[in-house]
Amino acid sequence: MANPTKILVLEVGFIAHEDIGYSRTFDFEIEHLVLGDDLELDNLSGEIDFSRTSEGVLAQADFSAFTETICGRCLEKAHQPLESKFSELFTLPNRADKNTELILPANGRIDFAPILRDYMVLEVPINSVCREDCQGLCPECGVNRNHESCDCVIETIDPRFSDLKSLLEDKK
């Protein structure tokens, strides 16, 4: 098995020597990919289209994957789908100035892993759910209401009436 951290190291230096308008697409299907300490992707699929522009090499990426999160309602594992489309320009070294963010390395090799990580991590929602209609945990007894039912009666009292209710109960 190929070293997973190297899968996204791409040799694109040759594109710099092509005519403006030349493009080349790299396709990816990766079962499992660890991107740094905080992001693991499953079933990553996507493509990066590299095209030669007057400034350098433009990468247009389109990826989808799943990441494992914890459902905010039932606290079980959730497979969160992620999708990201983005583009980055790798400026030719002789075109770069102090405002240039990404410069095409002299060896023509781009490690796309940290770039993909930065975009994909933005797609991970703060509150994931395992599915849209997840019933969550019962606030009384804690059963997972997706799998079990319980007889708990959840009292939902408008806080404005709670004083009134205790007054009425005192009179009993």
**Closer residue to Zn ion, CB minimum distance, 82 or 134:** 134
Q: What is the nearest approach in angstroms of Zn ion to the Cβ of residue 17?
A: 52
With contacts defined by CB under 5 A, name the span among 12-20, 90-98, 117-125, 126-134 that binds Zn ion: 126-134
Long-range contacts of 62-70, Cβ-Cβ distance < 8 Å, separation of 24 or more? 63/28, 63/116, 63/119, 63/120, 65/33, 65/41, 65/120, 66/41, 66/42, 67/39, 67/40, 67/41, 67/42, 67/120, 67/124, 68/40, 68/42, 69/124, 69/125, 69/128, 70/128
Of residues 128-157, which lie at the interface with Zn ion (CB under 5 A)? 130, 134, 138, 140-141, 150, 152
41 binds Zn ion (CB under 5 A): no
Choose, by CB under 5 A, the member of 10, 15, 71, 110 that binds Zn ion. Answer: 71
Measured from the CB atom, the residue of 124 and 152 that comes closer to Zn ion is 152
